[in-house]
Structure 1
C-alpha cells in the first residue's frame, strides 16, 4: 500500500527542455505532483517569464491549489537555457547550491539555506 513519490514522476520532481531549461523541485510530494510543479515552472518560462518570476509563480499556483495547510509548500531550483539560476521556496528554509560557469570549468559557486541567501 505504498505510493510513488513526486521525484520519479516526469514534470513533478524534475523536468528539462533543451529549448527552455531545467528544474528540480522539493517539498510536499502530493502537492508537487498535483500541479506538476517542475513542468509548470518551465511552461511559465516558455511563456516569457524570467526564471525567478517563473519559479515564484509556480509555487504560488501550488499554494493556491493545495493551500499551505494541505501541504502546498516546496521549493525549486531552475536553470534557464542561457544558464541563469533561480531559487524560490515557500518553506522556512531550503538548502541549495549552484555553480555558474562553463561545464567542466571553474565557476562561481553559491550556496545557502535562508531566504536572503537565495536573492
Structure 2
C-alpha cells in the first residue's frame, strides 16, 4: 500500500512537518480546541503514521537500486557502500517499528477521545 497522493514523497513530508509545527505552535499558545477537532487531528496524525510505515520499506528498496545502478556510493568500496546502505536500512526499519507503535497508540487515543466526547 502507498500513500494516495501523487505528490513526491519529500513534498508530502515537508507539508506534514509544517502541519505538525503549526499544531505545536497552537498548543503552546494555549489555543482551545474542541474534542471533535482534537479527534480529527489525532486521526490525521494516525493516518500520517500509517502512511509512513508503508513508505519506509520502499525507500530502502530505492536506495539499494541506486547503489546497484552506481548512483550512490561511487566514492566507497563495494563493502563500504553496502555497509552504509545496510545502516540506513536498519535505521529505516527502526523508524518503521516506531511508526507502527505510534499509529497504534494514536488509534487508541482517538477511540478513547471519541468515547469521552460522546459521554
TM-score bracket for the superposition, by shorter chain length: under 0.3
Taking structure 1 as the reference length, the TM-score comes to: 0.24
- Flag the structure with higher strand content: 1
Bigger radius of gyration:
2
Taking structure 2 as the reference length, the TM-score comes to: 0.24
Name which structure has the greater RCO, CA cutoff 8 Å, separation 6+: 2
